[in-house]
Amino acid sequence: MAKLYFRHGTMSSGKSLNLLAVAHNYEQKGERIVVIRPRIDERFGAEAVASRVGISRDADILVDEGSTLDRKLIAGAACVLVDEAQFLSPAVVDQLREITWDLDVPVICYGLRTDFRTRAFAGSARLLEVADAIEEVKTVCFFCNRKAIFNLRISSGGAVVDGPQIELGADDRYRPVCGQCYREKTQAGAQDLFREVSKS
């Protein structure tokens, strides 16, 4: 029976690069894959799944909160790969779960576990509840060499601890940080953090 995987990591941990590498490996063997991405994320283009190292491909299916996945597009695929899975609705996650059971197609979801306030995204929370396998894509803290586990939202005024959960951005808005640095930076004076970020 096919499995549902949740591969989570902080910003800049290489999740999209991992997805693109898995896609390439399947296609090298002549197997068909289906790439899914939430429509809300248009940072790299309307349909692009892109890595910061400069490689990308278009998604096959774009989903919204209330989307119903067309199983005809997925049936017979070797694998389904999902980018930015934190933005999925719980209902879409449940459909992916059912696809593994009903179509026997493995689904690998890549996404953030938590937001800049260390709170779970709805899609991530549901994946943590129903995935067969939960794996971490690791990277190191921007400020030290410990393992990064949180995403620090930054601005010219320092660490941001209030605001909407979803605010799209990349290295200009977020840093991967360990728990200790997250605590220090969110409690630090705004100018102290700004000086450290500006050095990068």
Collapse the DSSP code of 190 into the 3-class scheme (helix H, G, I; strand E, B; otherwise coil) and give the result: helix
H or E stretch at 198: helix 190-198
The three-point CA angle 85-89-93 to 5° equals 65
Gap between the terminal Cα atoms of the chain: 47
Alpha-carbon gap, residue 150 to 179, rounded angstroms:
7
Contact 167, 153 (CB under 8 A): yes
Question: And the tokens for 65?
Answer: 């909160």
Cα 98 vs. chain centroid, distance in angstroms?
21
Cα–Cα dist 116/166, whole Å: 9
C-alpha to C-alpha distance for 121 and 112, rounded to whole angstroms: 8
The token duo for 23 is 């896609």
What are the residue numbers of the active site? 84
Q: Which residue has the tokens 């299916």?
A: 61
